[in-house]
Amino acid sequence: AKEKGRDNAQFFTSEMANIVTKKFGFEKEINDALALAQFSLVYQPKVLMEKANILGLEALIRWNHPTKGRISPADFISIAEESNLIIKIDEWVIDQALQQQKAWRDQGLRMVPIAVNLSGRHLVSDSLVSYISQKLEVYNVEGYLLEIEITEGVLLQDIQRCIEVMAELKALDIKISVDDFGTGYSSLSYLKRLPLDVLKIDQSFVEECDSHIEDTKICETIIHLARSLELRIVAEGVETAPQADMLKSLGCEVFQGYYFHKPMEGADIAKLLTVSPVI
Ligand code: C2E
Ligand code: CA
Ligand code: CA
Ligand code: CA
């Protein structure tokens, strides 16, 4: 076993060195991207029943890399999450979203909440709530105009701390959604312990909710669960009319997905939130 251990050690020295160099190189690039303003936000509307009834927005990050082109968040968020880099990114997103809200308010647009995706590391950190309340003041934006989306897995890691932080967020009037609901843990006990507002049905269930009875039943069950716990429900990744119709027949009223709106630049969102002049 000792012999083998040494072999492994040798194996790791060369292989790991490569991986570590690559990873640190990537981390440096993410750091530079923040400094060089290579990130931007797009916004995807959430609608009540119909395309025109925009209830809120979700901010989604984009990395416009000078040589690699657009890098998907799926390809860099997980790496950023391995270090405190994710906190820097999350903070940048919060700042950007609130700055956008201020700009829209100054333009006299109809105001709706912007939801940001937060990593678990950041949620339980000491700095989140003070960062947010400071930024709300700087941009003079009310707490209800910011929402938080957090994936299920995160909620069970340190539930006591989650309860504390969420209580402070509630005090700021910030709503909390459980993202990708149904894909994480089998234990649902956290649902009654945490002050949550919204469950987002994961798009993996939505995709075939109109064609596979199992997925229909899962969506139905999640919608009933939300109702009995007095949580609101949002279906995400809705791409077709039959999906939307099925979800409506199951009692879902709020939708997000390409069928209604794709994620858009802030300038295009502004056109949708123009308040028509009173004559
Ligand atoms: P998510 O939070 O579940 O976001 C939904 C993803 O589904 C987004 O992908 C969105 O563009 C995509 N989407 C929306 N409607 C449809 C649809 O009808 N069909 C399909 N197939 N996809 C749809 P995106 O923007 O690539 O983001 C991927 C994931 O990266 C997000 O999943 C989220 O977990 C993470 N992410 C994105 N932006 C941020 C951010 O600012 N901070 C953090 N921490 N994570 C982020
Ligand atoms: Ca999300
Ligand atoms: Ca999601
Ligand atoms: Ca997702």
- Reported ipTM: the value is 0.97
Q: What is the pLDDT of residue 182?
A: 87
CA–centroid distance for 67 within its chain: 27
Q: What is the pLDDT of residue 175?
A: 98
Per-residue pLDDT of the chain (279 residues; tens, 9 = 90+): 444 444 555 555 666 666 666 666 888 889 899 989 999 999 999 999 999 999 999 999 999 998 989 999 998 998 899 888 999 999 999 999 999 999 999 999 999 999 999 988 889 989 999 999 999 999 999 999 999 999 887 887 888 999 999 999 999 999 999 999 988 766 788 888 999 999 999 999 999 999 999 999 999 999 999 999 999 999 999 999 999 999 999 999 999 999 999 999 999 999 999 976 555
Q: Which amino acid is at 100?
A: Q
Q: What is the pLDDT of residue 246?
A: 98
| Ligand 1 site, residue 180, Cβ cutoff 6 A | yes
Q: What is the pLDDT of residue 264?
A: 98
Q: What is the pLDDT of residue 26?
A: 80
Pick from 38, 42, 60, 259 the residue to mutate for probing ligand 1's pocket: most ligand atoms within 8 Å of its CB: 60
Q: What is the pLDDT of residue 156?
A: 77
Q: What is the pLDDT of residue 189?
A: 83
Q: What is the pLDDT of residue 2?
A: 43
Q: Whose CA is nearest to atom 45 of ligand 1?
A: 117
Average pLDDT for the chain = 90
Q: What is the pLDDT of residue 95?
A: 98
pLDDT digits (tens, 9 = 90+) for 116-162: 999 888 899 899 999 999 999 999 999 999 999 998 878 878 889 99
| Ligand 1 site, residue 117, Cβ cutoff 6 A | yes
Q: What is the pLDDT of residue 188?
A: 81
| Ligand 1 site, residue 177, Cβ cutoff 6 A | no
| Ligand 1 site, residue 90, Cβ cutoff 6 A | yes
0.90 exceeded by pTM: yes
Q: Which residues does residue 176 pair with via DSSP β-bridges, in sequence order?
A: 148
3-state SS string for the chain: CHHHHHHHHHHHHHHHHHHHHHHHHHHHHHHHHHHCCCEEEEEEEEEECCCCCEEEEEEEEEEEECCCEEECHHHHHHHHCCCCHHHHHHHHHHHHHHHHHHHHHHCCCCCCCEEEECCHHHHCCCCHHHHHHHHHHHHCCCHHHEEEEEEHHHHHHCHHHHHHHHHHHHHCCCEEEEEEECCCCCCCCHHHHCCCCEEEECHHHHCCCCCCHHHHHHHHHHHHHHHHCCCEEEECCCCCHHHHHHHHHCCCCEECCCCCCCCECHHHHHHHCCCCCCC
